[in-house]
Structures are given as C-alpha cells and as structure tokens.
Structure 1
C-alpha cells in the first residue's frame, strides 16, 4: 500500500487499538475527503465518544451532522446543548446564527459569552444594538476592550459606536417561538429569488444572502490565518506568489469549520444548486488599495499533472460563488471583460456563476477579474463547486 495514500487506514487501525490520539485526525480526514470519500456518518461515530470532554470534538461533531442531508437543524440543536452546558465557543456560534431569527436566545448566549471574554460575541452584539434600543454600558465596555486589544474590525466598530444612541441597560426581549427548521440551507435556497445578470454563462446575484453578523464573524475568525495569496499551477500542483494576483487569502477546510462557517458554505453551495459535499475549501480573500486579481478562469484548462488527478477525483470546477463580507471601499468590482459585466455587492450579497458550458468544457466567457481596490479594503469569501464529491481515492494531493 502507498504510504502517502494510507493515512486514513492507519488512523483507523490506531483507534481500534485504543490510541485516542488518532480520533481527531481521523475525523478530520473523514470530513475533508482525504484518502477516501467524505464520510460524515463515519466522522460522527468517531467523534461522539469524545464529545463530553473535548471542545474540538464537539465542534467537529456538529459540523459532521450539518453535512448530512437535512441535518442542519439537528446540528443546531446539538450545538445549543453544548452552549447550554457551558461551551463558550458554542455559545458564540449559536448566538451569531440565531441573531436575526431568535433574538432573545441569541442575546442571552452572546452576553454570557462576552462576559467570559469572547470578543466575537461582543462584536455580534453590536449588530443587535444597532437595530434595537442602542448601546448599553456593558456592551460599550466590551467593545472598547476589543479595540484596545487590536481586534481586526476595530475601525468599523468604532465608527458604528460613534453614531449609535446610548441606553442604560441591555434590551429585554420576549421569548422566541419559532422552530429551527428554517435554518436549513436547503429550505432557504428553495425560497430564494436571485437576479439574473447573465444567461450564458449563467450569472446570478443574491441580495442579503448572509447576515452582517455572520460576515463579521467569518472575517474575524479567518483574519489571523490570512497570508499573501499565491497563484496555483494546476500542472505541477505548486503555488507561488505572482503579480497576476495581489491579495491576502486563507483557506478553511470542513474539518476546521464550525456551524457558522458551515452555514455560510452551505448557502454559497446552494446558490449553484448543489451541496457542500461538492465544494472545495472555503477561501477568504482580502484586498488592500492596489491589490487585484487579473483576468482568469476558475476551471481547469489542462488535464496534465495535478489537474488531471483533480479531474479524476472530483471533476471540473463547474461553478463559483463569491460572498461580499464588507462594504464601503472603492474600486474592486468583479468584472467579466468578455461580457462587459461588473458586480460589486453590498455586505452580505453573493454572486454565483458557471465556469463551464453545458457539455462540461471550460467556458471562455466566464473569464473574470477582481479590479484594483482604490480606497479602503475589500473582503470576499470564495467557493468553488465541483462536478462530484471526492471518490474512493479522496481529493488529489498537492505537491508541497
């Protein structure tokens, strides 16, 4: 057996022999589709024994549950149990997820987490305060502490705080009455009515597809891992910095996602009519003034080298979804030069487009670019959707 393709089997054998160190790495491989297909049921079986005493196992467990068809509401209920049992990270995630639909539960969870020092909870509470009574003293103290600590979104927080009314106490809200089924990305996708921007290839705009608190959560969570973006060579499987692409980027595989990120990924995949099983890792992109991504195609235009292995493992990159994570910058439009079409969504909007023709060949009209940012900074989430989920051999391995 090829040792480079045997990690999953080795970890399974180690776990059967009683080596608990194999549990989380094995679950990660099952979630990411490495050395074999994506297997959420297998990951759940591996993770449940570690659920009571391991916060990482709890996070990964609910991500695996969300990957099951129709499993998102069950995952939310399980994560709520974690939050109620004292898991601070679970409280932050559930508070962010429920902010728009279940404000009473959200407020309780976020305030409890903020009192335990969770900066992401305080930032999420600001979104609630903007739409309700105003900024109360305890929240203002939390937000000032975030700014002093160098929170990455401190600038927008400071601006929002300066323009808000003050109140003497946190709002008291009536109990939530709705269930959690509407959180299922499949049910929301069925109700969506995107704007058609192009027919060939199909290009669609999805307004207000992601809540602002979710946008901030995703960007702040990914910020510490952002690095100068590289251009990938699909023949050699290697990446390197190139003037063709100037930006910062981070990649979030399924095994590192929590329910907030998984919800965003599921919504982005649903914009293309599919599920997260067909999605690559979520990418976060940050552009400062002068940064740009020159004209390029997202699909594979060669079947040599690593690209050939990828096409065998998962097929073509048939579609792309972009989600705008902020507003207020200048320049930076996503442009399709061969179609004379440009898009720059407001915070929370998405753009989805096809990369291949009906017969599956690369569509030259899908050529697109990120125009230079001229002022401020631009943040996007980007998701490539494939023709199939990883098969028996798993995803193709890149060259280091």
Structure 2
C-alpha cells in the first residue's frame, strides 16, 4: 500500500459518490492507480462494493456521524450521565472500546431476574425473509425487553445514549442472553447483508445497524470471551463491563467479525444493545 495513505471513511465516501454518479468499479480502480495507489490499496478501498454493484445493490456513502464516546483527549473515564464509566481498552480498526464499571451489581442482578422468566431458545434475524429463525451457530437462551419496559432498562438506555452520544430512540430493544456450559455464538457480523432479499424489509424499521454494545451481567467460571478473530482480540466477560464496536458500512472491511466463545464452566449472562442509523420502530 502506498506509504501514508490509509483507507479512510472519506475515501470510501468518494468511491460511493463516484459510483452514484455512474462511474464503474473498473474505472475507479484505474483512477486510483493513476493517482498513485497500489493495487492492494485500491482493492481494500473497493472491497465489497464491486460485489454489491454486480448484484444490483445500491451503494450509499457511509454515515459521517457514528455512535461512540468522545475519546479525543484519551480520558480514563467518560461521563455517562448517572455514572462515571472506565475506558479500559480501545482499538481503531475494528473500532472497539472496552468499558469498565458500566453496570452495578444490583443492575446486573435486576436484569437477570426480570429476564429469567421469559427465556427461550435464541433466534437470529433471518435475512432471507426479514423475519427471525433458529440458528445452529447460536446456542444460547434469550429474550428482548421493549425500550423503557422497566426502571432498570430505562435507566440503562439513558446511560448508553449519553455514553455513546446516540439517541435512545435509535436503539433496538435490549436483548438478554444466557449461555449455559457448552453454549456459544460462532463468529458473525451484526450488520444486515445488503445482498440478502430480506434486508430491505429489515431496514424499514430504522436503517442499518451501525454499532453493538455487549454488556456482561454474570461471568462464567471459564470461557465465554467475546472474540474478534480477524484481529486476534478476546474480551473477557467480566461482570459489569461492556464491549462496544461500530461499523460504518455493511462490509467485512470493518473487521467486526465477532463471536461468543463456548462457556466451559458456569453460566454467562449478557445484555446486548444494537444501534441503528435512525429511529427504530
């Protein structure tokens, strides 16, 4: 790759704008080569776009605004309104932030108690139809809270909105999952594949997912880490902490492939908040 030239969001916006103007992917690759970009850099910038274009899927520029805390001065703590949250670890690509002391023990216990009575085998979004279905890659039990369903959920949603600077209304309902020994969720992406036939139906409810926050409510004795295999990162499921990651386009180039490693002993409970581009209805 040409020295000093990163594949930035601005470059991808330029690529998307040129495609929208009617230029072909091969012509863009030729233009980048003429401007001094090496082949591997051009391929990285165009990754995923050529496949979408061939499938007739509209390619739109990534959103300039993304959820996330202000870390411009490398703070050790971030004000989340009603709580001071620790910044334990950060990564740029993928954009990952590990938060400490995000939930109190009482909040963790309260969410588990409220969720326990409604657990069922976890479903995943079915992008073929836009509905939900069982997935052999996901072996947890789970349930969803409606936004603001009870006092703990409403308080946590306000805290997340303040921490990540993203409106409460742009969030899906909070999902709580229980992983028994042996349960896992194999590596996957959280965004909705633009090439799948059910995706337009899903996007009507609030646009694409742009970020995920996984919060650990109960830690297992062994196993259960959240892994990012593309970058060799594992986040230990410590109670009260959370791992946030964002993805500015529905593309593997975001490197947000992630999974829940098998629980080897004990139980793992997590709460997940997915954030959309706009109000989720």
TM-score (norm 2): 0.67
SS of the residue 2:210 aligns to: strand
Residue aligning to 1:362: 251
SS of the residue 2:117 aligns to: helix
Q: Write the mapping of 1:305-316 to structure 2, written as runs, cut at 5 A.
A: 305-316=197-208
Distance in 1 (alpha carbons) for counterparts of 2:217 and 2:85 = 19
Q: Write the mapping of 1:1-400 to structure 2, written as runs, cut at 5 A.
A: 186-188=80-82, 192-254=85-147, 257-302=149-194, 304-354=196-246, 356-357=247-248, 360-364=249-253, 365-390=255-280, 395=281
Query: Contact 1:210/1:348 (CA < 8 Å) preserved in 2?
Result: yes
Residues 297-355 of structure 1 show CA distances to partners (whole Å, capped at 9, x for unaligned) of 0011125444213324412100000111012421010000001000013211111111x
CA RMSD of aligned residues (A): 2.0
Q: 1:300 to 1:270 in 2, by over 3 A?
A: farther
Aligned length: 202
Distance in 2 (alpha carbons) for counterparts of 1:249 and 1:311 = 23
Residue aligning to 1:157: none
Distance in 2 (alpha carbons) for counterparts of 1:247 and 1:203 = 24
Distance in 2 (alpha carbons) for counterparts of 1:343 and 1:261 = 24
Distance in 2 (alpha carbons) for counterparts of 1:267 and 1:187 = 6
Deviation at 1:258, TM superposition (A): 1.3
Deviation at 1:232, TM superposition (A): 2.3
Highest relative contact order (Cα 8 Å, sep 6+), 1 or 2? 2
More deviation in 271-280 or 381-390? Answer: 271-280
SS of the residue 1:369 aligns to: strand
Distance in 1 (alpha carbons) for counterparts of 2:113 and 2:143 = 12
Deviation at 1:234, TM superposition (A): 1.8
Structure of greater Rg: 1
Deviation at 1:274, TM superposition (A): 1.1
Query: Contact 2:225/2:234 (CA < 8 Å) preserved in 1?
Result: yes
TM-score (norm 1): 0.48
Distance in 2 (alpha carbons) for counterparts of 1:369 and 1:210 = 22
Deviation at 1:382, TM superposition (A): 0.4
Deviation at 1:242, TM superposition (A): 2.5
Q: 1:342 to 1:269 in 2, by over 3 A?
A: farther
Distance in 1 (alpha carbons) for counterparts of 2:194 and 2:223 = 32
SS of the residue 1:301 aligns to: coil
Deviation at 1:187, TM superposition (A): 2.4
The unaligned stretches of length 5 or more in structure 2 are: 1-78
SS of the residue 1:366 aligns to: coil
Query: Contact 2:218/2:239 (CA < 8 Å) preserved in 1?
Result: yes
Q: 1:265 to 1:303 in 2, by over 3 A?
A: farther
**Higher normalized helix content (fraction of residues):** 1
